[in-house]
Amino acid sequence: MTAEIIDGKAIAEQIRGEVAAQVSRRRQAGEPPPGLATVLVGDNPASLSYVRGKQKACREVGIDSQGFHLAEDTRQEVLEKLLIDLNADPKVNGILVQLPLPSGLDEEKALTAISIEKDIDGFHPVNVGRLAMKRRDPMFVPCTPSGVMVLLQKTGVKISGARAVVIGRSNLVGMPTALLLVRENATVTICHSRTENLPEIVRQADLLVAAIGKPKFVRGDWIKPGAIVIDVGINRVEDAGAKNGYRLVGDVDFEEARQVAGAITPVPGGVGPMTIAMLLKNTLKAAEMASIKK
């Protein structure tokens, strides 16, 4: 069997087009453009590149983005003061604090300072708490996990009743993805660095989400024939032949897995573009909610 390749780039492009059309309709109706504030602390190269990508994507769909770049040694009070000012700024509908923050800053305190109406990353503890509760709805769902769910829905796979395995329990990806899968009635197992007999558990998965950050960690013979594999990993591995001296690989050994899986996301071009598309969608949603409130 050779797996269907799930084209995240094309699906993300479609979502970006829908957001752009909606932003343009808003403009014609005399509404201001949605506004996103990105907050980056320090100069982590991967974070810099992610934030630039997010700002560029905003421009392309007509969302106003303002970037705030703070020094590595910024004090907690300064960061929180900025977030409180942004909460009060009517031109800002969404606030994104790029993670990880430099050591010394309290991530939870910073994320809690963001108003839940502007928490387009869905990382505020109230939004995460609502995601974990029955009959509660978060204002926003984290972007990468909601992108994973869209990719699963687009493959047409039945999630309800399926056995899902999520490898990774991070606040950003693993845990919220597992919660979303439970909300869609999957039977979910969350695996992590202390899991015993990992390959055996992964072999039971109809749906596999790999979010561990280790290149080619999941091998082809761990995968149940026909399973749907969503690879969240974006790992840089040295490659002397590549332009930048590195190339990107996922958490799954793609060449092995594609021989066994029913469908699989590539890296790059799978989950990555979906994260940005969902961010744009969440920012538009925040702007729409702010318009209704006015």
Applying CB under 6 A, among 98, 127, 282, 283 the residue interacting with ligand GUN is 98
End-to-end CA distance of the chain: 55
- Choose among 242, 220, 218, 234: nearest CA to 275: 234
Q: Which two tokens stand for residue 98?
A: 């790029």
Catalytic residue list: 54, 98, 121
Verify binding: residue 265, ligand GUN, rule CB under 6 A. no
Question: 127 or 275: whose CB is closer to ligand GUN?
Answer: 275
Candidates 18-26, 91-99, 234-242, 254-262 — which segment interacts with ligand GUN by CB under 6 A? 91-99
- Cα separation, 265 vs 7, in Å, equals 7
Verify binding: residue 121, ligand GUN, rule CB under 6 A. yes
CB of 283 to ligand GUN, least distance (A): 12
Applying CB under 6 A, among 40, 63, 96, 175 the residue interacting with ligand GUN is 96
CB of 120 to ligand GUN, least distance (A): 9
CB of 99 to ligand GUN, least distance (A): 4
CB of 100 to ligand GUN, least distance (A): 7
Question: 101 or 260: whose CB is closer to ligand GUN?
Answer: 101
Verify binding: residue 155, ligand GUN, rule CB under 6 A. no
The 3-class SS string of the chain reads CCCEECCHHHHHHHHHHHHHHHHHHHHHCCCCCCEEEEEEECCCHHHHHHHHHHHHHHHHHCCEEEEEEECCCCCHHHHHHHHHHHHHCCCCCEEEECCCCCCCCCHHHHHHHCCHHHCCCCCCHHHHHHHHCCCCCCCCCCHHHHHHHHHHHHHCCCCCCCEEEEECCCCCCHHHHHHHHHHCCCEEEEECCCCCCHHHHHCCCCEEEECCCCCCCECHHHCCCCCEEEECCCEEEECCCCCCCEEEECCECHHHHCCCCCEECCCCCCHHHHHHHHHHHHHHHHHHHHHHHC
Verify binding: residue 65, ligand GUN, rule CB under 6 A. no
Candidates 26-34, 96-104, 152-160, 261-269 — which segment interacts with ligand GUN by CB under 6 A? 96-104
69 Cβ contact partners less than 8 Å away, ≥ 6 residues apart:
40
Which residue's CB comes closest to ligand GUN? 99
Query: Looking only at residues 131 through 150 of this chain, which bind ligand GUN when binding is defined by CB under 6 A?
Result: 143-144
Verify binding: residue 99, ligand GUN, rule CB under 6 A. yes
Question: 19 or 260: whose CB is closer to ligand GUN?
Answer: 19
Question: 218 or 232: whose CB is closer to ligand GUN?
Answer: 232
Candidates 74-82, 93-101, 243-251, 256-264 — which segment interacts with ligand GUN by CB under 6 A? 93-101
Query: Looking only at residues 165 through 224 of this chain, which bind ligand GUN when binding is defined by CB under 6 A?
Result: 172
Question: 121 or 206: whose CB is closer to ligand GUN?
Answer: 121
Residues that bind ligand GUN (CB under 6 A): 96-99, 121, 143-144, 172, 275
